Structure 1
Amino acid sequence: MDTLVMAAQLLLGLSILVGLHELGHLLAAKMFGMKVEKFSIGFPPKIVGFKWGETEYSIGAIPLGGFVKISGMVDESLDKEQMDSEPQPWEFRSKPAWQRLIVMLGGIFVNVVTGILIFIFLVYDRGETYYSRDQVLEHGIAAYEIAEQIGLQDGDKILDISGQKYESVNDLSSGDALLSSGGYYTVERDGERIQVPIPRGFINSFSNEESMSKFISIRFPFEVSAVGPGTGAEKAGLSAGDRILALNGQSIKYFDQLQKGLKDKEGQSVSLLVGRDGNTLTKEVEVSEESTIGIGVNNLLEPVRKKYTLAQSIPLGTERAFGVVIVNARALGKMFTGEVSAKNVSGPIGMAQIYGKTWDWTKFWSITGLISMILAFMNLLPIPALDGGHVMFLLYEMVSGKAPSDRFLENAQKIGMVILLMIMVFAIGNDILKFFTTS
């Protein structure tokens, strides 16, 4: 069932984005009087379709993209017969270069607008919920495995990132922070101010969503919210509302202290000092093989909650949408220098895992908006067979006044398709490798 939920979200998200992308090309082409022969979401073989006017609309069996076939255009169909015939006034090749440029940018434009609108809607509808810098300075952080590797410690109070103050605890693991060159965290520890360098290529430590849980979180006070049946906590008589004050004589204030206090205690009993209704009790509790005692907890630290008007949401949502593009452009650039590992490239399996095993509409639209912006950015890359490749050749034509030959465009298209196929095989291979190494 988990796999079906992930696959369904991926298929729905891609279908929406690919459909809108190809619709951008179709509408721009029809606006300039070009004949659009086919519009497809997904690649052949065709599952279902119908013809409306001059255009055949269909859904393909391979849901990893889509296409619009415009008459007189050298595209992935490589229709040599049509290109060898006399140009017709309704064909792509018969139109001025500036019109053809707009057609090729139509899909990218629609994806950018879609991504911006999704981010604006999410900001307006959901607002923001986060733990602030002030709360980090009051309570400190819990430093997990990845944080400890670079020198962060439990209780550290992070003052800034590379000299710049931050707003939310989420900023500490943002792309801007992890991709910084020569970056550092300024930390207050035991009354001293120190710098913890962010290593070159540190972002490679965050290959999946689970790895984020191994970095840092804000420390939070807690109380017991529920006790699992048959667990050590139930046998010891713990109940909802209890506050755990100490473990084996060591003071406990934050949940991460309890987690780390139970580590390596599997199969043993621990002594807990428990606060209940103004009294303190001592409980001997058995620890499970998973280093847990079988309780759920309530986080007693109230996050900051902000709501925005539509007028405020428009610039903030737009900034976030383009922020995604900037971070991915920086990551791509650092991939060529070797600072960011190419193993971070994900294919359809990795994208499905990002959506997650539960259907959460807020998360669904957040991921879909992010993919929409990335899809626009990737399509703008000057690779033949992508929109950016066509744009590159059209700009050359507009500057030089001379169009590349059809034979050159056909060969470029073939090379581009090979490049894209290699990238797809590499991405799927990464997905499979990650699946087996993390499962």
Structure 2
Amino acid sequence: MGLYLVVGAYLIGATLLGGLSSAGNFAQMAIGLGVVIFVHELGHFLVAKACGVKCEKFYIGFDVPMPKIGPWQIPSSIFKFQYGETLYGLGIIPLGGYVKMLGQDDNPANAEKEAERTRVAKSDASDADDSGSHHQSVTDVNLEPAPLKENVDYDLDPRSYTAKSVPQRMAIISAGVVMNVIFAVVFATIAYRYGVPYTPAVIGGTVPGSPAWQANIQPGFQVLRV
């Protein structure tokens, strides 16, 4: 994620310093970075789904709370839509992405709240394990932990990330990098097979009196190696 931030900052700086001539290159790099992020998060998402983990959000970009400018509230998402149990969206900050899984949060400050969200009554957990049907965990519609009832034993929601085995969790976490490697191999193969645009290094002119001029390097000469 730090790499995305560094690259994003570099591209923005290059665009501002280079003027309009580099705006097209910035757009191409932004799209390319977005594709890399999408492929990475898709790896986490697909393996999590295959392991039976509830994926609550799939976002490209970060949907962080944005400030108001006068009477206008800056939206945190460019667009979003709900499909099944997952909210898909494009965040306003295009410097990364994430898959929000039940029971998994990278922020230590949210660990206790996330742990409460994964609790489910033991009877409900047993029914879900036996029948394979979806059950309601102790969570309200806003992804906040609902109040726990007294005299009720709770267990981990079988569809939460923390309820999965260590190999499953390792597979989910590693899937993003593995997906990027597969993506790179596929596109490297395509580039090798069909080729990529190539601009030859051709001399456009020399300055009289310069070493190149003294070496009789003429316009149109091509640089083959350095």
Q: Same fold per TM (> 0.5)?
A: yes
1:302-381 equivalences under 5 Å are none
Query: Of the two, which has the highest radius of gyration?
Result: 1
What residue is the counterpart of 2:136 in the other structure? none
Deviations 1:387-419 (A, max 9, x none): xxxxxxxxxxxxxxxxxxxxxxxxxxxxxxxxx
Contact 1:25 1:105 in 2 (8 A): yes
Q: Does 1:107 align with 2:176?
A: yes
What residue is the counterpart of 2:110 in the other structure? 78
What residue is the counterpart of 1:123 in the other structure? 192
Deviations 1:251-281 (A, max 9, x none): xxxx69x7365339xxxxx9xx9xxxxxxxx
CA 1:49–1:99 in structure 2 vs 1: closer, same or farther (change >3 Å)? same
Tell me how large the CA RMSD over aligned residues is. 3.5
SS at 2:49 equivalent: helix
Residue from 46, 52, 61 that aligns with 2:83: 52
Contact 1:40 1:68 in 2 (8 A): yes
CA distance in structure 1 between the partners assigned to 2:26 and 2:196 by the alignment:
28
CA 1:80–1:7 in structure 2 vs 1: closer, same or farther (change >3 Å)? farther
Point out the structure with the larger strand share: 1
CA distance in structure 1 between the partners assigned to 2:208 and 2:26 by the alignment:
39
CA distance in structure 2 between the partners assigned to 1:128 and 1:58 by the alignment:
33
What residue is the counterpart of 2:221 in the other structure? 299
CA 1:61–1:118 in structure 2 vs 1: closer, same or farther (change >3 Å)? same
SS at 2:77 equivalent: strand
Unpaired runs of at least 5, structure 2: 1-19, 64-75, 120-155
Residue from 153, 158, 164 that aligns with 1:95: 164
**TM, length-normalised to structure 2:** 0.58
Q: Does 1:263 align with 2:185?
A: no
Size of the aligned set, in residue pairs, is: 152
Displacement of 1:130 after TM fit? 11
Instruction: Report the AA paired with residue 34 of structure 1.
Output: V
SS at 1:12 equivalent: helix
Contact 2:105 2:114 in 1 (8 A): no
CA distance in structure 2 between the partners assigned to 1:14 and 1:259 by the alignment:
38
CA 1:12–1:130 in structure 2 vs 1: closer, same or farther (change >3 Å)? closer
Displacement of 1:36 after TM fit? 0.2
CA 1:127–1:61 in structure 2 vs 1: closer, same or farther (change >3 Å)? closer
SS at 1:297 equivalent: coil
CA 1:127–1:59 in structure 2 vs 1: closer, same or farther (change >3 Å)? closer
Q: Percent identity?
A: 28
Unpaired runs of at least 5, structure 1: 132-216, 221-254, 265-269, 274-295, 304-439
CA distance in structure 2 between the partners assigned to 1:26 and 1:127 by the alignment:
31
CA 1:54–1:128 in structure 2 vs 1: closer, same or farther (change >3 Å)? closer
Contact 1:69 1:75 in 2 (8 A): no
SS at 1:78 equivalent: helix
CA 1:47–1:112 in structure 2 vs 1: closer, same or farther (change >3 Å)? same
What residue is the counterpart of 1:40 in the other structure? 59
What residue is the counterpart of 1:416 in the other structure? none
What residue is the counterpart of 1:24 in the other structure? 43
CA 1:3–1:120 in structure 2 vs 1: closer, same or farther (change >3 Å)? same
